[in-house]
Structure 1
Amino acid sequence: MVIISKPLFYEKLEPTIKCRDLVHPDISSCTKANLKLCLEAFLPGVFYFYLPIHLLQVILDYKKINRKNFLKNLLKNILRSESFGVTFGGLAIATICLHSHLSERLRYYTLLLLPGIVAGISIRWEHPRNRQLNTILWASLVVEALFKNAYYFKIFTYSPIKETLIFMLVSSSLMHLFINRDKKQIPFNLWFYKPSDPKKYKFTLYNYFREISKYFGFGYGLNSIRCVLKDAKMMFKSPLQFIRKTAFNRSNLKFGIIIGLYVGLFRGVSVLLQKYSNLEKANAAIAGLVAGISYYIEPNMTILTTAVVTVLQILCKQISTIPEFRKIPFTELVFMFCNGILFFNRIVAPVTCPKYYTNMLQITANGELEKIYIRLVNKYLP
């Protein structure tokens, strides 16, 4: 895939090029083109992308569902997601067109970065729970993109040892924040292990190995679900082969071992430090550092990015409790800027863009947003 650098962009794209050349070559009117895209591409695309997600939420929350208003709430949530997705695509296209009309020429950063940020405003349509989940996910994708770009453009070379050391430091900070902060300052997050205070933990070998087994099972099960989602068709075509492939998948076992060993190391070291040292406030940080060694078994970008984002979440939560910052909509602002970075990354350097974001754009826009990149490369950057 072609990487669109800033010098290449200005060298190949003439100042006379407008939005019609890149976004809607078949329709001269920006308004008509946007309406057509919203109705024929974004509306069905968003429905196909979000319907399975809503059905999965129904399955996970079936015990909490109010059966009396079940259909009403489900339709309401689907409509909110539709509004979010369609507005997302519409705002991105409208911003590109507006920029084209107001500026003398298309600019490298504002052509894509600005539309991505403006499109992020659409998150306000979503349900508060989904709004929070999307923001966490987008932030994780940005962290993943930063690592991929750093490796691809050789800002620093990849090494399992280096990545493990980074994870150990992040893990140390995260465990320190979990143990030594007020519970009210710990926001909803996707980190798999929320440690209890070592003082309140009753250590016995039975409790210790039971906890390790529990988290091994959690890691193994979680990775198995990911395998199911990746190759769901095989489940129907060849059930026995699918079960064998999933149950004895080496990646699933390794992921379970990473999670189980992480918890085992953290719990074991924190108990020993509690018993034999006076470094009470530093116990969690030291135990988290040692527990991070488990990452070396099989470096996993999902674990690393989730840890980084959770640290940032907690720090943002602490900032938001300061009276001067309480009215700032951190969730929406973070989503907007993360989306700007990801949208820019997808078009300028698609090889380093996280697969989830690429697939999301492909499905929700029926490939229409992807055509911007195709036109740029095929027509102007051959």
Structure 2
Amino acid sequence: MAQISKHMFEAACSNVHCSEILHPWNRSCWTSSIQTYRDSFIGSAKFYLIIHLAQNLMRGKKVLTKKELIKAGENYLRSTILGAMISGTCVTFGCILRLLMGRKFTFFTYLMLPNTLNGLFILLEPPSRRGLVINLFCNLAIEYMLRCLERAGYIAITRGKQTVLFMLGSALLFYLMRLEGEKKNRTPLLWLFTAEKVKQKTDDEQNVCPHKGTCTRYIAKGAGIYFGAGLCVSLAKTLLPKLRTPIKALSTVRYNHFKLALFFGSYIGIYRAIVCYLCRSRGYDSALYALPAGCIAGLSFLFKPNLGFAIASLTGAFKIFSTTLYEKKMLPDNIPLPLLLYCFCQGTLFHTRFMDPDICPSYMFNLIRSVSNGRSEILYANMLKIINKIAI
């Protein structure tokens, strides 16, 4: 359905009982909460299991120690509780706000304000993971805002403009990554690849490049690993839903399923090749080499254009830069700006999923449906029924 305006929602849903569009499985707010929180925990556990398994598999043998396995289990449990509390309290806070507003719903107190308030549960995540979640939601919120501007006719998001945006973002991001390479703890980022630190020139070592072994092997290894990762992601999306008919599933594989792999593989391969070339030709390594390397490697974006990737490259660079500003006391650390930003982004995105689904980032559909264990689809369908009755 198209965008639902404030007037349309409040004309249709302002006076309905909260059980109709918040908890139709039980009329009582308190009794329904048992089912709400139960399903939220189940849905959250399923959703985060896949995410945490994938993240830990990418870490390789490091996660196999007893200490790391315990830590991985704790992180999974905390993420599960986070998702369950956000999904569950969305309904609870919605009912409470309706009561405070004189038993009426408003456009902003239905979903936006409840999901802004329960954004505080992000504090359940450990600091090392918290930044990644905040970064993701900021990227999604920016993507939605750009889509709004495009729909209004203020900008045109073309493939070429997205590519240029990604090239600039990649150049800045890789450069800032290499600048902070000497730090003991790097800024956690939601990004494909961590750039190597700048190699200091020494007289007793012939290789001036930031790697061991030959350049050819280094470039081919990086390109091969990321090509394989991209291919696994694409094939998993295609084949897993059709596991009952494996032969039929394999027959659906097309060239399009290799685009993500080509993007990942060429992106890393070109970046490493240019850095190695500049190191060899100049005789020493420098963080500045990441600027042309990241920019030219960004042309790989043409294999798989995605506005989310383009935005993520720039926000990743901004995150490293903002970390530097915090360290230099140029930004106040007594005001939780990242937390406030996350709460705003989460409230906006949950609200958008229901009120403006046409341009809502697709990730939000999957997230909300999965974490609520499918309950969100029931709420949305009920809301549409009520609004359509008024429209008719």
Calculate the TM-score normalised by the size of structure 1.
0.80
Task: Give the CA deviation at 1:99.
Answer: 1.8
Q: Deviations over 1:28-81 (max 9, x none)?
A: 432332233112x212222222333444455445544444895x7666455433
| Residue-by-residue CA offset, 1:317-351 (whole Å, 9 max, x unaligned) | 12332447334445544432321121112111122
Post-superposition Cα deviations, 1:109-147, rounded to whole Å, max 9, x if no partner, equal 343221121222222223444434333333333344344
Structure 1 residue 363 corresponds to structure 2 residue 351 = no
User: Would the alpha carbon gap of residues 35 and 273 (structure 1) be closer, same or farther in structure 2, given more than 3 Å must change?
Assistant: farther
CA distance change for structure 1 residues 255 and 68 in 2, over 3 Å: closer, same or farther? closer
In 2, distance between residues paired with 1:264 and 1:79?
Answer: 37
Q: Secondary structure at the match of 1:24?
A: coil
Question: Counterpart in 1 of 2:223?
Answer: 216
* Residues 153 and 273 of structure 1, relative CA distance in 2, 3 Å threshold: farther
How far is the alpha carbon of 1:237 from its aligned partner?
Answer: 4.1
Are 1:296 and 2:302 counterparts?
A: yes
Is contact 2:169–2:314 with CA below 8 Å preserved after alignment?
yes
For the 8 Å contact 2:62–2:68, the answer to whether it is kept is no
Contact 2:23–2:379, Cα closer than 8 Å, also in 1: no
CA–CA distance in 2 between the matches of 1:142 and 1:125?
22
Which residue identity lines up with residue 119 of structure 2 in the other structure? Answer: G
Match of 1:83 among 81, 84, 101: 81
Instruction: Report how many residues are paired.
Output: 375
Contact 2:227 2:261 in 1 (8 A): yes
Q: Partner residue of 1:251?
A: 259
Q: Which residue of 1 aligns with 2:332?
A: 325
Does 2:15 match 1:8?
A: no
Mapped to 1, the partners of 2:54 and 2:300 lie a distance apart of 31
CA distance in 2, matches of 1:52, 1:243: 25
**Deviation at 1:261?**
5.3
Quick one: distance in 2 between partners of 1:131 and 1:289? 29
Task: State the shift of 1:268 in Å.
Answer: 6.5
1:109 counterpart residue number: 108
Question: Is the deviation greater in 236-245 or in 116-125?
Answer: 236-245
Does the residue aligned with 2:375 lie in a helix, a strand or coil? Answer: coil
> In 2 relative to 1, CA 243–44 (structure 1 residues): closer, same or farther, beyond 3 Å?
same
Q: Which of the residues 304, 313, 316 maps onto 2:319? A: 313
Deviation at 1:23, TM superposition (A): 1.1
Question: Is the CA contact 2:128–2:188 (under 8 Å) kept in the aligned structure 1?
Answer: no
2:204 alignment counterpart:
none
For 1:81 and 1:253, the matched residues in 2 are separated by 29
Secondary structure of the corresponding residue to residue 42 of structure 1: helix
1:30 matched residue in structure 2: 29
| C-alpha separation in 2, matches of 1:193 and 1:55 | 20
My pick for the range that moved more, 280-289 or 334-343, is 280-289
Structure 2 partner of 1:348:
355
CA distance in 2, matches of 1:295, 1:28: 50
Equivalent pair of 1:215/1:263 in contact (CA under 8 Å): no
| Larger CA deviation: 292-301 vs 161-170 | 292-301
State the alpha-carbon separation in 1 of the partners of residues 56 and 296 from structure 2.
39
The 2-side partners of 1:128 and 1:14 are apart by 39
Tell me which of 235, 246, 249 is aligned to 1:238.
246
Q: Deviation of residue 100 (structure 1)?
A: 1.2
Shift of 1:293: 3.2
Distance 1:78 1:173, change over 3 A: closer
CA shift in 2, pair 1:321/1:219, >3 Å:
same
Contact 1:221 1:252 in 2 (8 A): no
Aligned to 2:190: 190
Aligned residue among 78, 91, 94 for 1:93? 91
Question: Aligned equivalents of 2:371 and 2:18: distance in 1?
Answer: 21
Look up the equivalent residue of 1:380 and give its one-letter code.
Answer: I
Cα deviation for residue 226 of structure 1 reads: 0.9
How far apart, CA to CA, are the structure 1 residues paired with 2:295 and 2:66? 46
Taking the aligned partners of 2:76 and 2:179, their CA distance within structure 1 comes to 40
C-alpha distance in structure 2 between counterparts of 1:263 and 1:347, whole Å: 40
Partner of 1:325, secondary structure, is: coil
More displaced 10-residue stretch of structure 1: 186-195 or 260-269: 260-269
Q: Tell me if structure 1 keeps the 8 A contact 2:122–2:130.
A: yes
The alignment partner of 1:366 has SS state of coil
Q: Secondary structure at the match of 1:369?
A: helix
Tell me the secondary structure at the aligned position of residue 302 of structure 2.
Answer: helix
1:275-290 equivalences in 2 (<5 Å): 284-290=290-296
Taking the aligned partners of 1:178 and 1:73, their CA distance within structure 2 comes to 26
TM-score normalised to the size of structure 2? 0.78
Question: What is the CA RMSD across the aligned residues, in angstroms?
Answer: 3.8
Gapped regions of structure 1 (runs ≥ 5): none
Between the aligned partners of 2:337 and 2:179, the Cα distance in structure 1 is 23
Match of 1:125 in 2: 124
2:282 is equivalent to residue 263 of structure 1: no
Alpha-carbon offset, residue 310 of structure 1: 0.9
- Identity among equivalent positions (%) equals 24
Give the Cα separation in 2 of the matches to 1:49 and 1:281. Answer: 38
Distance 2:385 2:129 in 1: 37
Structure 2 CA distance for aligned equivalents of residues 101 and 241 of structure 1: 51
2:272/2:293 contact within 8 Å kept: no
